[in-house]
Amino acid sequence: MRSLALSDEILMEVDKPVRYIGNEVNSIMKDKNSVDIRFAMCFPDLYEIGMSHLGIQILYDMFNSYDDVWCERVYSPWTDLHLIMKREGIPLFALESQESIKSFDFIGITLQYEMCYTNVVQLLDLAQVPVYSKDRGNDDPIVIAGGPCTYNPEPVADFFDIVYIGEGETNYRKLFDLYKSCRKEGFDRERFLHKAAQTGGLYVPSLYRVEYESDAPDSMLKSFTPVYEDIPAKIRREVVADMAGAHYPEKPVVPFMKVTQDRVVLEIMRGCIRGCRFCQAGMVYRPLRERPLEELKKYAVKMLENTGHEEISLSSLSSSDYSKLPELVDFLIEHAQKNKLNISLPSLRVDAFSLDVMSKIQDVKKSSVTFAPEAGSQRMRDVINKGLTEEEILKGCEQAFLGGWTRIKLYFMLGLPTENEEDMKGIAVLSDKIARLYYDLIPKEERKGRVQIVTSTSFFVPKPFTPFQWAPMDDKETFTGKAHIVNTAMREQLNFKSIRYNWHAADVSVLEGLLARGDRRLSKVILDAYENGAVFDAWTENFEEERWLKALSDNGVSMDFYIGRERSTDELLPWDFIDTGVSREFLIKEWENAKAGKVTPNCREKCSLCGALVYGGGICYGRKG
């Protein structure tokens, strides 16, 4: 008989207790005595965020399709429950069984966002598992990381036994079989990790020796070498070369409460052809690989039937580039109209947002349309290789207005390499031009009130494995000054009453940059920040910069060393031991093209020999250059 880990008294005391009780529709229950491996799939953020994450749903369903594995879900307890669990000594538990995860075989933690790193420590702390891998013994779970932040795992590497680099569908079965084999032989943690390091895509941080030029906290990385000759010096990213038949959940778990994305999510492809120079995902998820149209139709119908959701959303980096998008949209529109469903089409490029698609969905419930010009001037868009002209942007917005939309969200970045004041002010000017276009285009008697242009700017963070990985990053004061320049320019526009301007918190962006580009010396900073009270730093109401500044000061870490300087292309970077398929030579060439304002064609126009051809799949397949 399943009993809850938390008493009724505690559940009545905390906010949104439904986060912690499990037993949702489509959640998977197994007999723990009938499986060989128990896996705790942990998301280091709130239930509402984690339940909206597609990658977790895919792996959860795939792991549970194995007869010998029971995968259960864990999300970070909110601060109220966190305090109670610490006070009462209640160990972190899985939603399905409600049992403590410290007795599980694996604890898997996805690294989606750098500002969740203190939540990684929180999960291990509440699980009553040693935070550092070096302190774990044979009876402790194997702690494994996955997700996009593993493309520089070094700031948190000391917390993990294994870091899975790449797409999870390919190698977990091998890892589970290896674990079972080692258990039969009499489990020895070090021997298992050594063998795991010989398996593709698995990085075991303890088996790599890191040396610096000196003992100074701002000294350069000198070398990064494997401890044993039989483990790879470079770890190749795992890739699903052919998406046809790739695992996908037909019965995703349905939450009891409203979550961030309360809808069916249909992943239509992976990768991107565009090559935006700031975009890590666009580089590391190459090559572009599409799911077959007929499979998508099947999954769409089954997931809607099995969940009861009333909305379906397409997921990809650039949905407009899916080659069968018109046929897919036709199918979804017909299904939506029959079943009174809503369709969400995110990740659409302005230049590919066809009037035909807009007209087909005009009778379906609308919200806002989101476009991402990223930069306010053409010069800056060429620097970042956005590949959009102002004419194309305005044409796309015109199509949206003619399709019946009156609210457009625009996303830009501040602090991009080579940026000047004219580029910044261009954000306000372009926003005004779009608002003006609406009033010029739509007759007064046909307007549904004032057009709403919601312009947001984030601050540029140079990420690993992008052409901008060598670029310097602005500090907090510079970022804030740039946002004020844009804000002042907004107020000077003719249609400023139709424009709302928001900007991201500069102090959070600076810390994100530190954690994105840091090395192993930051693990103590992260642990100290957690012990100073830092947790849920991605949430504005919880973030306190002073906790981090104290941790940095106590460890003698220079923020400027990690974010403020331009790095030489000859410098050994903390993440250089990872092979994403995209070559260093290509990234250097793109860095030079950015400085020259030279645009690189997208992958369908011309192959730029980035290196992703090595994976033998997707759009790269058969390309010679």
Q: What is the pLDDT of residue 625?
A: 44
pLDDT digits (tens, 9 = 90+) for 190-217: 999 999 999 999 999 999 999 999 999 8
Q: What is the pLDDT of residue 217?
A: 86
Q: What are the structural domain ranges in the chain?
A: 8-236, 242-347+585-625
Peptide bond into 287 cis (omega under 30): yes
What is the secondary structure of 464-522 as a DSSP string?
Answer: TTSTTTTS----HHHHHHHHHHHHHHHHTSTTGGGEEEEE--HHHHHHHHHHHS--GGG
**Measured CA angle at 448 (ends 443, 451), to 5 deg:** 85
Work out the percent of the chain whose per-residue pLDDT is above 90: 85
- C-alpha to C-alpha distance for 480 and 507, rounded to whole angstroms: 9
Per the CB < 8 A criterion, the answer to whether 476 and 510 are in contact is: yes
Please name the residues in contact with 96: beta carbons below 8 A apart, sequence gap of 6 or more: 22, 23, 27, 28, 29, 70, 72, 73
Per-residue pLDDT band at 619 (split at 50, 70, 90): confident
* Confidence check: pLDDT of 352 > 70: no
Query: Average pLDDT of 471-493?
Result: 97
| Upper half-sphere CA count for residue 262 (Cβ side, 13 Å) | 8
Per-residue pLDDT band at 355 (split at 50, 70, 90): low
Q: Checking DSSP bridges between strand 342-344 and strand 202-203, what pairing results, if any? A: unpaired
Q: What is the pLDDT of residue 370?
A: 79
Helices (H) and strands (E) in the chain, counts: 20, 19
The rounded Cα 120 to chain-centroid distance in angstroms is 15
Query: Average pLDDT of 493-498?
Result: 95
* Confidence check: pLDDT of 604 > 80: yes
Please, what sign has the CA dihedral across residues 613, 614, 617, 621? positive
Please name the residues in contact with 614: beta carbons below 8 A apart, sequence gap of 6 or more: 581
**Higher per-residue confidence, 449 vs 518:** 518
**Nearest CA among 286, 122, 165, 164 for reference residue 621:** 286
**474 phi-psi bin (left φ>0, alpha ψ -120 to 50, beta other):** beta
Query: Average pLDDT of 124-131?
Result: 98
- Backbone phi, psi, residue 89, to 5°: 70, 30
Per-residue pLDDT band at 322 (split at 50, 70, 90): very high
Please name the residues in contact with 349: beta carbons below 8 A apart, sequence gap of 6 or more: 274, 318, 320, 321, 388, 396
Structure tokens of 226?
A: 């494997």
Q: What is the pLDDT of residue 448?
A: 81
Q: What is the pLDDT of residue 351?
A: 52
Per-residue pLDDT band at 348 (split at 50, 70, 90): low
Q: How far is CA 27 from CA 43, 140, 256, in A?
A: 16, 26, 11
Structure tokens of 186?
A: 């009499």
* Confidence check: pLDDT of 541 > 60: yes
* Confidence check: pLDDT of 586 > 70: yes
The CATH fold assigned to 8-236 is: Rossmann fold (3.40.50)
SS3 122: helix
Q: Mean pLDDT of all residues in the chain?
A: 94
- C-alpha to C-alpha distance for 96 and 334, rounded to whole angstroms: 37
* Confidence check: pLDDT of 236 > 90: yes
Please check whether the domain covering 242-347+585-625 is classified as CATH 3.10.20.30: no
pLDDT digits (tens, 9 = 90+) for 4-40: 999 999 999 999 999 999 999 999 999 999 999 999 9
* Confidence check: pLDDT of 365 > 60: no
Helices marked H in 185-316? 189-196, 280-284, 293-307
Per-residue pLDDT band at 367 (split at 50, 70, 90): low
Q: Checking DSSP bridges between strand 452-459 and strand 499-503, what pairing results, if any? A: parallel
* Confidence check: pLDDT of 623 > 60: no
- N- to C-terminal Cα distance for the chain? 62
* Confidence check: pLDDT of 515 > 50: yes
